Structure formats: structure tokens, C-alpha cells
Amino acid sequence: MPKKFDEFKLNRQLLNAVEEAGFVEATPIQEKAIGPVLSGQDLFGIAQTGTGKTAAYVLPMLMKLKYAQGENPRALILVPTRELALQIEEQVKLFSTYTDLRTVVIFGGIGPKTQKEQIAKGLDILVATPGRFLDLYLAGDINTRSLQFLVLDEADKMMDMGFIGSIHRILEVVPRKRQNLLFSATMSDLVQKIAGDFLKNPLTIEVAAQATPAQTVTQILYAVPNFKTKINLLQHLLKNDAEFKRLIIFCKTKTVADNITNFISRRFGEEAVRVIHANKGQNTRINSINSFKEGNIRALVATDVASRGIDVSEVSHVINFDVPIVIEDYVHRIGRTGRAFNEGTAITFYNEAEKYYINKIEKLIRQQITEKPLPTEVFVEETPYEERQSIAREIDAQKRKENPDFKGAFHEKKNQFSNNPKKSSKKISRPKRR
């Protein structure tokens, strides 16, 4: 039987905010983490996305900070992306509604002037991306001497994005005496290394097998030979607007994201879709996510920059238009649906070259994904020559990665030609010297 929030040692202000937010029963990570964090332990939480881990550390942190005090941050929450930073700031403000605790969020991509002004007014909790934190710290805008809590959230993503150097620099400028909390969905070698550098005798909490998608997510695969057929399948699925009512479509590149957005806009109306990727301005991205949260748009098209920054409880479907090359991102993408106790469906389209990554994903999540045949209504287009060549080159690169001695399909054809006696016996005539 899951614990109710009033069974934890939380004060009435926090319990009122939790109740108002619609939280009744604690999720497994909340049940296991809140008590130890309250008691002051360092903690290493391995939790899949969508399990409620933000509340698992924010609630006990707010309980221990209690009220506004001083001008400098007493808690620092480091996250990999601006979207996740904004999402966590929103949760902190939600739970601290009935307290006077002050929260500031800082991230790159916009000018620092407003962020500096907010810090100068005084704060208790700072949510930050590592790069912007270091910029403002080195400029003298952030004083870390009062820091009591340091949280690394989505540590695996931070390692993937190359933040390990920045994290080590931050560890050098924060007080040695502090409580440390680290959360990660997967346990890579780099995450284990940073955990060893960062945590002191931590309690390790694992609420699910590493990199296991939430049990509430139904996973489906479709083998689709090329881009145009993927578009045809997407169109077929979107015709079912009763079932596909709120979905996120993930793709590898900004170009593909824009192409999909234009297609949906033409077929289903401009108000049906928004796109977020690195080329979109910060305000545009925030407005798009908010419109999606409010249910004003049906589909959000995104690159992986946003795969961990969208916290919407009623996403019916995630569609992986492309298979992610960083296979851990698969878990984070599909974690945008089936959040908390809701059910959701994750559908992945893959071509011949992407099968390689599907095999690796299935090993990572330790389960086979159900494959379905293409619906008969979906027209299968012929693969254009350039796309066919691109797929062949990618398959060659994969084989070379697995076997360094592999020379490539083109090389094999060349050898086959040279070894054919009928072809190779032909003498090459050279002009006679005069």
C-alpha cells in the first residue's frame, strides 16, 4: 500500500500545497527518498523518468530550509537543460506556495542581465544549468558560502552532454560541508565516477531496474523503409484523433522536425502543432511547451534537446519518428508518456539502418519491443536513390564499428570484380613508345 504524504514528517504548509497540487499517494521513489533526505543523508537515486523524483528531493529540502533566510542560495539544483530547469522551478514554486522561500532559475541561451538582478534581490534555492552557473559565479554574482544542499538531477544526461568538467569545477567552489543528492535514470561509468567524487557514504535507492521504461508505457515498433513512408504512417495514425489526442513526436534533426511540423500544419491545421529545437528562441520554446501543457495544441515536435524537459501528465502517445542514436535517450523520450500512474503508448518507426539501434535499446531495457506490421492503408513509397545510399553507408559504418576489419560493401564489390577471372584476365593495352 503506497504511503500518503501526511505520513511523512512534513509541515502543514507543505502538505496543503501537496494536496492542492492533487498529489495523494507517494510514488516508490518518493516513499524511499523523503525520509533519508529529511534525516540528512547523501542519496544516490536511480529512477526512470516520470517517477516523481523531483518531489522526492524538493519536499524534504523545503522542509529543512523552512523559511527565507539571508541573501545567498542555500540549495543548488543542477540540471542539464533549460527546459528541465524551468520544469523544476515550477515544481519548487508549486510546493513552496505557502512558504516565503525564494527560488531563482538561471540558464544559457538568453542574456544574463535579468538573472543577475533576480539573484541580487536574494534567494534560497537556485536552479541552474552548469554553464550559466559558472559564468555568473566567476562574474561574482553568486556567493556559495551558505550552500547546504547540492542536487545533480539527470546526471546521466549531464555526462552525455559533456558537463563532467563543469561539475568538477563547481564542486571546487561549494562548501565541503553540505548534503548531496544525485539522481540518474541510467548508471554509466561516468555517472558512477561523478557519484564517487560527489557523494559521501550515500544511500543508494533504485526504484526500478536500470533504464527500464515505466510499466505504464506500451511500446510498439514499426519497420518503415524510408522517410516518405514514415510520413504516410504518421498521417495514418493522426487520423485517429480520438486516440492520438496529445502526442510528442521526437526526431534526430532540426530539419526533420521542421519538415514534420510543416506536414502536420498543412494536413491538420496550424493550430494543431508546435516545434521545439535548438534554433527556436527561448520564449518560443517556453510558449510552445506551455500551450501543449494547457491542451491548446495536439502535437509537439521535438529534438532530443527537449526530451527531459517536458512534464505533462496526460500525453497519450510518444512517436519516435527517428530512433535515437544515444540509446539511453529512448528511455527518456518514451518517459514523456505514462507518467506517474497514467498509461501511455510509445511508437517507434525504424528503417534498415536504425534496426542496429533498436537491438541495442532492447539490450539496454532488457525487454523485446512488440513489432507490428504496417497497416494495409499505409502506402509504401519507393526509397529514393540518395536515401538508399545514405542507409547503406550507415549500415557499413555500423558493421565497421562492430568489426574493424570490415571493409564495406563497396570494397567487397570491388574485390569481387577483381577476383572474377573473366573480368580480370582482360589485358590493358598501352601505347607503344616511339
Question: What is the SS3 string spanning 322-369?
Answer: CCCCCCHHHHHHHCCCCCCCCCEEEEEEECCCCHHHHHHHHHHHCCCC
Number of H helices, E strands in the chain: 17, 14
pLDDT digits (tens, 9 = 90+) for 178-232: 999 999 887 778 888 888 888 888 999 887 655 566 677 899 999 999 999 999 9
Q: Which residue has the higher pLDDT, 6 or 123?
A: 123
Residues carrying CATH 3.40.50.300, the chain:
5-206, 217-383
Measured CA to CA in angstroms, residue 20 lies from 10, 17, 49, 156, 317 at distances of: 15, 5, 23, 32, 27
Q: Check: CATH 3.40.50.11900 for 5-206? A: no
Q: What is the mean pLDDT of residues 385-414?
A: 78
Cell digits of residue 39: 534525516
Summarize pLDDT for 123-158 with one digit per residue, the tens. Answer: 999 999 999 999 999 999 999 999 999 999 988 888
Backbone angles phi, psi at 345, to 5 degrees: -130, 135
Mean of per-residue pLDDT scores for the chain: 85
Q: What distance lies between CA 352 and its chain's CA centroid?
A: 25
- Indicate whether 327 pLDDT > 90: no
* 229 contacts 381 by C-beta, under 8 angstroms: yes
Dihedral in degrees, nearest 10, Cα atoms 174, 180, 185, 187: 90
pLDDT cut 70: percent of the chain above it: 86
User: Which one, of 306, 244, 314, lies nearest residue 275 by Cα?
Assistant: 306
pLDDT > 60? residue 306: no
Identify which has the larger pLDDT, 275 or 20: 275
Each residue's pLDDT tens digit, 65-84 = 999 999 999 999 999 988 78
Whether 399 contacts 356, CB under 8 Å: no
Q: What percent of the chain has pLDDT over 90?
A: 48
Architecture of domain 217-383: 3-Layer(aba) Sandwich (3.40)
Residue 420 has pLDDT above 60, yes or no: no
Q: What is the pLDDT of residue 161?
A: 85
Query: Among 4-8, 206-210, 270-274, where is mean pLDDT lowest?
Result: 206-210
Lowest mean pLDDT among 307-311, 385-389, 403-407: 307-311
> Residue 410: is its pLDDT beyond 70?
no
Q: In this structure, are residues 328 and 156 in contact, taking their beta carbons and an 8 Å threshold?
A: yes
Contact 324, 357 (CB under 8 A): yes
pLDDT at 90 over 50: yes
